[in-house]
Structure 1
């Protein structure tokens, strides 16, 4: 089973409807390895379109030429020499550049895609990148681009996918991405962005948001559940706060929610159990207290549930262990005191599990009686607000 998988192929389908000429170039290499633990992908070969030698460059390609020449000037390191053919006016012949017919006039070619994944380029994004106003996708995964994102990116009104992952971009959350009206897929993983995530991000019509492994430090906003996303990955940031009940609003879309090591606290809201399409829920390495919401027993599609390394208490309910598609259930390093029914023998169901370091009688590798008693003496009241629910 592919865990932490990417968004549905719908993104590709739409791309191919908009830009038919991208079919041969992108079909084979589209798709995203979104596992947050493995952020080095296999190197892919790069092909590029050929324009006829006597092709007449339109003003859109002329603007693109200006943009690529400006970009090439600020690429300081190109160890694999990929940009060596970024020369001359026929930009559609450049490595990593993909042209397609302009939707409003198919006789005109435009630059529709840039894919520089795994080129190991060092440099930054120049203001002139805003001249590439026909771009539908930008893939810059696994390079050494740095600096802040230019505000001119707001000119890319057709941009559908923006993948800047595994680079060295810095500064506050790049609010320029909030101005992109067509954006559906936003991947900012493994960079150096810091500070607050604007609540406006969750008002965007995004299908996938990856901001894990940055230095973001804000509380999850009350409108966290507004974005109609299928995948939300916020792991390895310092958000804090509680998981807001508004998460219930994601019920019709959300399939994967990863909040690993984000400093969230309080009890898991019962509304988590409303996310009936959820396949992956990972809230490990946080400060979550209280019981497992019994509503999770209704998540029939759930495959992976990781509650490990929190401060949760109470019973591991049989209803959760009986979920029809559950294949991996981790609840180690908590303070659970009882496993109901089949939970005591998940091996018999073929479910991978980890129940170490709890307060479970007759199970190996549990916490000491002293540790368990100390927590038992401070029961959690989940009806209280977030800050009051901590012991």
Structure 2
């Protein structure tokens, strides 16, 4: 995961919630002993957490053992703060159950926690599906359910969350198509879909997304990277497409993504040449074309990128590196060009393997990428 503003802001927000929570714990007179009489929102929270506790069937560290009684703001992993519409009313604003190896389900009663800004439950054994009642969480800013055992199609209920800025679904068992509407969202800044079982293709209408980080890696999308990737031009900084079964050529529109710092399309079935338009990506630091079937020349403009730190072209069929590529090592740029067809270079493919590919030049127009 790269560094980006949404992570920083969320950590600050979580730190603030923890500080308020700790201060609250040291002021017993603030504890709601009879939530139903003094604070209806905490009463609803109590119902939600008790329902949740009943469907947690393994808690190795007994983290939720103090989820007892109506004082929900004293529950471990629960963080309270003043409501945004009423500073005199305390509400549950954050849940942090990361890295606890808890097994269970998410209750439908989670929809009662309508003041939640953050849900962090990564690295557990939660399973089942994301409840539809999560649609009630209209203030939710971050949803991190990564590294669990959730199943089913893409949880489309997420599309209805108006405040969501950070979405992390990676390392689960979600399957099927990713809805194009996800990329019509002007609020989402970070989208992590990697390491699931998503199929179909990367949506051809990538919409008007303002995301700065999108990770499709380790799914089975297939098809081409659509030219509509250009719609990310004003926002995208990190685009990871590792091992997504991509075919065809890289569209020249990738070179329109002028804010890109990381581009990784390794371990796919891409063919054709490196689009020369990538030579204009002045902020690009990490560029990985490794383990594809690309061919042709490595453009000098790509090797001369001013911010470049790491360039990988290994395990392709490139046959020539233009001048600036010869000086990458002297510029202290990490460069891997093994297993290509580069004359005079060590650790290249055999002539027989190279000839079998290079005798049949690729015409990218033949792939009709971007057409319905």
With normalisation by structure 1, the TM-score equals: 0.89
- Tell me, in whole angstroms, the C-alpha distance in 1 between the residues paired with 2:144 and 2:131: 15
Residue in structure 1 matched with residue 342 of structure 2 by the alignment: 360
8 Å contact from structure 2 (residues 124, 148) kept in 1: yes
1:71 aligns with 2:25: no
1:61 aligns with 2:51: no
1:190 to 153, 171, 177: 171
Which runs of structure 2 are paired with 1:193-204 in the superposition (5 Å)? 193-204=174-185
User: Residues 48, 382 of structure 1: CA spacing in aligned structure 2 closer, same or farther, 3 A cutoff?
Assistant: farther
1:342 to 324, 327, 345: 324
| Cα-to-partner distance string for 1:49-78 (whole Å, 9 max, x where unaligned) | 426346443100000000000001111111
1:99 alignment partner, SS class = strand
- Tell me, in whole angstroms, the C-alpha distance in 2 between the residues paired with 1:210 and 1:64: 28
Deviation of 1:217 after TM superposition, in Å, equals 0.5
2:60 alignment partner, SS class = coil
1:159 aligns with 2:153: no
Residue in structure 2 matched with residue 168 of structure 1 by the alignment: 149
1:84 aligns with 2:81: no
Residue in structure 2 matched with residue 316 of structure 1 by the alignment: 298
With normalisation by structure 2, the TM-score equals: 0.93
Which runs of structure 2 are paired with 1:116-135 in the superposition (5 Å)? 116-135=97-116
Residue in structure 1 matched with residue 4 of structure 2 by the alignment: 7
1:289 aligns with 2:271: yes
- Tell me, in whole angstroms, the C-alpha distance in 2 between the residues paired with 1:270 and 1:186: 28
Residue in structure 2 matched with residue 39 of structure 1 by the alignment: none
8 Å contact from structure 2 (residues 6, 189) kept in 1: no
- Tell me, in whole angstroms, the C-alpha distance in 2 between the residues paired with 1:48 and 1:189: 34
Deviation of 1:161 after TM superposition, in Å, equals 0.3
1:300 alignment partner, SS class = coil
Q: Give the total of aligned pairs.
A: 363
Which runs of structure 2 are paired with 1:1-391 in the superposition (5 Å)? 4-9=1-6, 12=9, 16=13, 23=16, 25=18, 49-50=24-25, 52-53=28-29, 55-56=31-32, 57=35, 58-205=39-186, 206-224=188-206, 226-386=208-368
Deviation of 1:176 after TM superposition, in Å, equals 1.2
1:266 alignment partner, SS class = coil
8 Å contact from structure 1 (residues 116, 139) kept in 2: yes
- Tell me, in whole angstroms, the C-alpha distance in 1 between the residues paired with 2:336 and 2:207: 30
User: Residues 177, 282 of structure 1: CA spacing in aligned structure 2 closer, same or farther, 3 A cutoff?
Assistant: same
8 Å contact from structure 1 (residues 48, 95) kept in 2: no
Structure 1 residue runs of 5 or longer lacking an equivalent are 28-45
1:224 alignment partner, SS class = coil
- Tell me, in whole angstroms, the C-alpha distance in 2 between the residues paired with 1:148 and 1:9: 26
- Tell me, in whole angstroms, the C-alpha distance in 2 between the residues paired with 1:329 and 1:257: 15
| Cα-to-partner distance string for 1:181-216 (whole Å, 9 max, x where unaligned) | 111110001001111111111112211100100011
- Tell me, in whole angstroms, the C-alpha distance in 2 between the residues paired with 1:239 and 1:204: 21
1:384 alignment partner, SS class = helix
